Amino acid sequence: MLDTGAERVEAAPGDVLLIRGPEPYVVSDRPGRVPTITIEPGQRCVADDGAELHLAMSHGVGTWGNDSDGEHGAILGSYEDPGEVGRLALAALPRLAVLPTGSVDPMVVSLLTREITTARVAQSALNDRLLDCLLVMAVRAWSESHPNAAPNWLSGRRDTVAARALDLLHEHPARPWTLTTLAGECAVSRATLADRFSRAVGDPPMSYLRTWRLTLACDLLVAEPHLGLEALAARVGYGSGFAFSAAFKKHVGTSPSGYRRSKAFGPRTVGVP
């Protein structure tokens, strides 16, 4: 049973649940169960009396809970900050999205479970990648089953011309795109591209490109803290650091250096209670 305060769902074995924070939620074995353990920011686990439980309830590699031989278990994975690109993907999701058994490849879930509970070389790096994979597959499954609620850049893929343009812009943001060059790559006229892209995605191609470039820049500023302004500007398609900085401040409300100082990515956390 999962209760967000506004919604309560009962999960079946094999279901995948996506919960958007930062608001708290309650997981219990039955409705009305009063929580006795709180997981605080930084994955700090405490009892009602404030006692630390991280070590007391540990049952080995990646496994934690109140009963090592319990009948039921769940894989838990969390992101302290999904990044700006991640926010684009998650923005259209409800606070709580339930994906029934089979919506996400059970082999991925099984592999993640095995790796979490096995102390092997590079376990942490592999777990991160598997958690990323699971999240992407879950968001994709939810978007495909709710096409009218999907983000514009996902729902826009139903138009073949818009889908081709999106692929080009996403894969090659640094190219000096114009409406003419993009239309040529899509084998349509400028007018056709502008019309079909705007109808499918909700923004004109060049407006979408500008937003995409600056969204990528937000993540690069944090993920690559030693990347200089000129190099970063070139990476996302701006001719100079000055032009990039001006566009970034207009879009985000602060300078690139100010944004970099204000952000710090927390680690992904995965475990099996």
Domain boundaries defined on the chain? 2-150, 153-262
15 pLDDT exceeds 80?
Answer: yes
The pLDDT tens digits of the residues spanning 95-113 come to: 888 888 888 888 888 888 8
Distance CA 100, CA 17 (A): 9
Predicted confidence at residue 151, as pLDDT, reads: 59
72 pLDDT exceeds 70?
Answer: yes
Predicted confidence at residue 149, as pLDDT, reads: 64
Q: Which fold has domain 153-262?
A: Arc Repressor Mutant, subunit A (1.10.10)
42 pLDDT exceeds 70?
Answer: yes
Predicted confidence at residue 228, as pLDDT, reads: 93
86 pLDDT exceeds 90?
Answer: no
The answer to whether the beta carbons of residues 258 and 220 sit under 8 Å apart is: no
Amino acid found at 264:
A
The pLDDT tens digits of the residues spanning 116-129 come to: 877 777 777 888 88
The answer to whether the beta carbons of residues 112 and 37 sit under 8 Å apart is: no
CA dihedral 179, 180, 181, 187 (to 10 degrees): 110
Distance CA 133, CA 128 (A): 9
66: which residues sit within 8 A by CB, 6+ positions away?
57
Structure confidence at residue 196 as a pLDDT band (50, 70, 90)? very high
Distance CA 17, CA 124 (A): 22
Predicted confidence at residue 43, as pLDDT, reads: 74
Token digits of residue 159:
């138009």
Tokens 């094999």 belong to: 14
**Average pLDDT in the 252-271 region?**
73
**Average pLDDT in the 47-70 region?**
75
